[in-house]
Amino acid sequence: MSRTPGDTWDIVTSVGFTALAVCAARALDAALEPPLANDTFAASFVAASGEPNLMTALAKTDLSSAVGFNARWVGVRTRFFDDFFTSAIRCGSRQAVILAAGLDCRAYRLVWPDDCIVYEVDQPRVLEFKQQVLDKRGAQPSTRRMAVAADLREDWVRPLVAAGFDPAQPTAWALEGLLPYLPGPAQDVLFEKLHELSAVGSEIAAELGPEPGELREYAEHMRTVRQDGTQSPILDLWYDDPHINIKSWLRERGWDVTSADLVDKAANDYGRPFHGLPPVFERLLRTKFFTATRKR
């Protein structure tokens, strides 16, 4: 474990690199049939980073690489969160918060009503890199967008509110690829804050972190996929310490919680079934995702 309290990163180091790796996977998703992520910005971020392994995988459209392997499930995950926002807007949310947004470009890719606002929270240097690349492309968001630089283990509420967030309005919250990077106590505080800030009608889509033991199984599998046989950096970056059952915690506080099985969704809703998925990936995709709506 290379993590320490208060550690920070840029886009090519530590946890920041995972945002870039996910982005490369989304860029490769375009080569799969059917593509699910539809992220036309992803390749620009990888190119701007200059990260050689990811650039090579993209240049070769190398679906047999570790990045290519990730493309299959990242595409499905991206689509799940895309659909969540589309549905939350239909149900009336006009405020979206993407916690640990990384290089997520939903504020540019999705169609939002005119009166929406999307807040993207992440580490300052990740957001700076993202802005530079988007500016260079001359990209314009399809809604109002506010980047909020904060550490999600510390006080992220104050900068979010300072950026204009209104706790009286229902909010659509996304936690995609975040929770494994937070130690258990930080997760608990994050959900307490999220609950305090959520008006009735607010919605959450989230991906849970690994249970104790799952991390090693995942990392072992990724080692077999990595062509150089090296260990996956995830082993050093994810936390699998004990944490509360978030779904039960939310139910006790008036949220309706629905688990989402992404293996079934891939086959039945997205038209891209998985074949020969390694057991550890199948379990993560079947059991780690949920949506929730605050009823009281």
Ligand X SMILES: C[S@@+](CC[C@H](N)C(=O)[O-])C[C@H]1O[C@@H](n2cnc3c(N)ncnc32)[C@H](O)[C@@H]1O
Taking CA atoms, 151 is separated from 8, 48, 71, 85, 181, in Å, by 8, 24, 27, 23, 12
Part in contact with ligand X (CB under 6 A); list of ranges 15-23, 131-139, 228-236, 259-267: 15-23
Q: Is 210 in the site for ligand X (CB under 6 A)?
A: no
- Residue 190 three-state SS: helix
Whichever of 29 and 176 has its CB closer to ligand X, that residue is 176
Smallest gap from residue 111 Cβ to ligand X (A): 19
Whichever of 73 and 255 has its CB closer to ligand X, that residue is 73
Helices (H), the chain: 14-29, 42-49, 52-59, 66-90, 106-109, 124-137, 157-162, 184-196, 214-225, 234-237, 246-252, 262-268, 279-287
Q: Is 27 in the site for ligand X (CB under 6 A)?
A: no
CA dihedral 121, 287, 183, 236 (to 10 degrees): -100
Among 177, 206, 218, 238, binds ligand X (CB under 6 A): 177
Which residues, 6+ apart, have CB-to-CB distance to 289 below 8 Å?
A: 77, 80, 205, 206, 207, 208, 259, 260, 261, 262
How far apart CA 238 and CA 200 sit, in angstroms, is: 32
Part in contact with ligand X (CB under 6 A); list of ranges 109-117, 139-147, 173-181, 256-264: 173-181
Smallest gap from residue 101 Cβ to ligand X (A): 6
Whichever of 153 and 253 has its CB closer to ligand X, that residue is 153
Whichever of 127 and 250 has its CB closer to ligand X, that residue is 127
Q: Is 176 in the site for ligand X (CB under 6 A)?
A: yes
Footprint (CB under 6 A) of ligand X, residues 57-116? 100-104
Give how many residues touch ligand X by CB under 6 A. 20
Q: Is 206 in the site for ligand X (CB under 6 A)?
A: no
Q: Is 153 in the site for ligand X (CB under 6 A)?
A: yes
Footprint (CB under 6 A) of ligand X, residues 121-150? 122-123, 126
How far apart CA 123 and CA 71 sit, in angstroms, is: 24
Spatial contact of 27 and 59, defined as CB atoms under 8 Å apart: no
Residues that bind ligand X (CB under 6 A): 15-16, 18-19, 22, 100-104, 122-123, 126, 151-153, 176-178, 181
